Amino acid sequence: MLTEERHQHILATLKRQGVVKLKDLMTELNASESTIRRDLADLEDAGLLERIYGGAKRSQSLAAEPSVSEKATQQLPAKQLIAQAASQLVQSGDMIFLDAGTTTAELIPHLAEKDVTVITTGVDNASVLADYNVKVLMLGGLIKPATKAAIGAITTKMLASFRFNWAFLGTNGIHPDFGHTTPDPEEAIVKQLAIQQADHSIILADASKFNRVSFAKFAPLDTVTVFTDHKPHTPAFDACANIKEVPF
């Protein structure tokens, strides 16, 4: 089994049970004690769990997901700058997927200046788009109370029937080893499908999202373009030509 597959199994078990035992993981993953200990150490370094005697327990931040209202004013100038830069990619007539979220929401005033059609999973974003008189299609599905995002089978069935010129997405974490992550596996599935259905995918992320890891991975680091106000200048991130810093 690949390292990433073992990590995902460990994290899924932790989210379900809260605690994992070293001996159980060795049996379930058919791996040696040294391999599992190394996996647990790597995941602890990423902030995804806390090692305890004989195993590990779930990190309190692993599945934490701030509400829209909590995130709305955080890093606002950076979000506005990132959105303005990303909006310059859009041409009149484009079909756009707009993820739920507070950074993607900052794109809306710029989209209003162009003749575009927007498909979104965000209840709040759909409402604001309508206020700006932008042609908008709101995907159905189960609405998450915290983020006001549509998720689930209905959402993905509708989403699969569309193609986009651009998909603009948010992320909760950008990490050189774990890629792009979000707290909710259901929302990760929606993001994965949006990327698949788009000609070009752009993640909008302020500097606070780097070197953070959440529960569910939705894209490797090198498969989507990132617009940010600042990236950490480490060898891993400097090697990523797809991370674009916008001038402040």
Q: What is the CATH number of the domain that holds 39?
A: 1.10.10.10
Q: What confidence score (pLDDT) does residue 75 get?
A: 67
Name residue, tokens 């001038």: 247
115 in the same domain as 178: yes
The pLDDT, as a whole number, for residue 46 is 76
d(CA 98, CA 145): 18
Divide the 248 residues of the chain into consecutive groups of 10 and give the mean pLDDT of each group.
Answer: 86 84 93 93 82 83 53 72 96 97 93 95 96 97 92 97 98 91 94 98 94 90 94 88 88
Encoded tokens for 8? 């995902």
Look at residue 158 in the predicted model and tell me its pLDDT. Answer: 98
What's the pLDDT score for residue 66?
54
Specify the CATH number for the domain of residue 136. 3.40.50.1360
At 247, the amino acid letter reads: P
Confirm whether 10 is domain-assigned: yes
- Residue 7 in domain: yes
Radius of gyration over alpha carbons of the chain, in Å?
19
Give dist(CA 107, CA 147) in Å, integer.
17
Same domain, 105 and 168: yes
Residues 115 and 196 in one domain: yes
Instruction: Supply 243's token pair.
Output: 């991370």
Dihedral Cα 173, 176, 177, 181, nearest 10 deg = 20
Q: CA of 206: how far to CAs of 1, 210, 227, 237, 243, in Å?
A: 34, 8, 8, 14, 12
Residues 193 and 167 in one domain: yes
Residues 78 and 24 in one domain: no
Q: Are residues 33 and 136 in the same domain?
A: no
Q: Based on the structure, what is the number of domains in the chain?
A: 2
Residue 90 lies in a domain: yes
Assess whether 108 and 29 both reside in one domain: no
Tokens 């989403």 belong to residue:
159
For residue 39, give its domain range.
3-58
Helix (H) or strand (E) holding 187: helix 185-197
